[in-house]
Copies of this chain bind each other. A is one copy, B any other.
Amino acid sequence: MTDFDAYRNKFPHAKLTRSKDGVLEVVLHTDGDTLVFNGYTHEEFVDLFHHIGQDVGNRLVILTGAGNAFIDRIDPDGFDFFSPQGYDKIYREGKKVLSNLLDIPVPVIAALNGPTTVHSEYVLLADIVLATPDTVFQDKPHFAFGIVPGDGIHSLWPEVIGSIRGRTFVLTQQIIGAEEARTLGVVSEIVPRERLLERAREIAGRIVRLPPLTVSYTRVALTQKLRRLVDESVGYGLALEGISAADVGRSQNR
């Protein structure tokens, strides 16, 4: 297993701190401000979640963002969507990033510090979701690029908010506000921005008072069904996304 010091400073877009009782806080960021998602962060997060999951010193994870949004900007830098070889990297990483996140064997609290419109499926693998009142959800980038949202968006949203609601959300690029998200069951609790982390730590503190194996195996038991869902849907979804990207790539070259 890995040692915290060996990886804590390894990730340029994730600031890691850990409390004495093993609560790991992960702040996603770009130069200390709101994360700009790009091809490099896609690769980096595969490794980030892998290391977090391997370290038995982590007893609970709080995942949050810097600045005023969780993730709402995406930049094509570092992505090659439009050639099969380039897409292969996205396909490999896209499968691994979700399975690594899901394989973190301790509870994950997402503390959403604002809009979440890029890779919102990460949030759906958290067990508890806190959100500021200005948090909104949407799937922006796929249809903006003209490609299939096949990276888990297509299967996890219907799983979490219901079949028709989830399919409508994806196809209409619907914007869901914090209050509605709470009603739909994506958000566990709405918390003012200034109390967001404090509240996450309160909840975390109560959980980590339980014996370590109990905390860990409760996460394993609670996410068993999601493991199969991710395994069955994400590889296939990404393959369909890849064909659609190859098609978009060809039209652009013509």
Number of chain A interface residues as a range = 35 or more
The residue that A84 contacts in the complex, of B99, B170, B246, with Cβ under 8 A, is: B246
Could you give, for residues 76-99 of chain A, a 1 whenever the CB lies within 8 Å of some chain B CB and a 0 otherwise?
000000011101110110001001
Known contacts A84-B247, A231-B227, A248-B211: does B159 contact A163 (CB below 8 Å)?
yes
A40 touches B (CB below 8 Å): no
Report how many copies the assembly holds: 6
The residue that A170 contacts in the complex, of B148, B149, B218, B224, with Cβ under 8 A, is: B218
Most buried by B among A1, A166, A187, A226: A1
Interface majority SS (helix, strand, loop, mixed), chain A: helix
Bound Cα distance from A214 to B163, whole angstroms: 20
* Contacting pair B218 A154 (CB below 8 A): yes
**Which of A's residues lie within 8 Å of B, judged by CB?**
1, 43, 50, 56, 83-85, 87-89, 91-92, 96, 99, 103, 105, 107, 124, 126-129, 143, 146-150, 154-155, 158-168, 170-172, 184-188, 203, 206-207, 210-214, 216-218, 220-229, 231-233, 235-237, 239-244, 246-248, 250-251
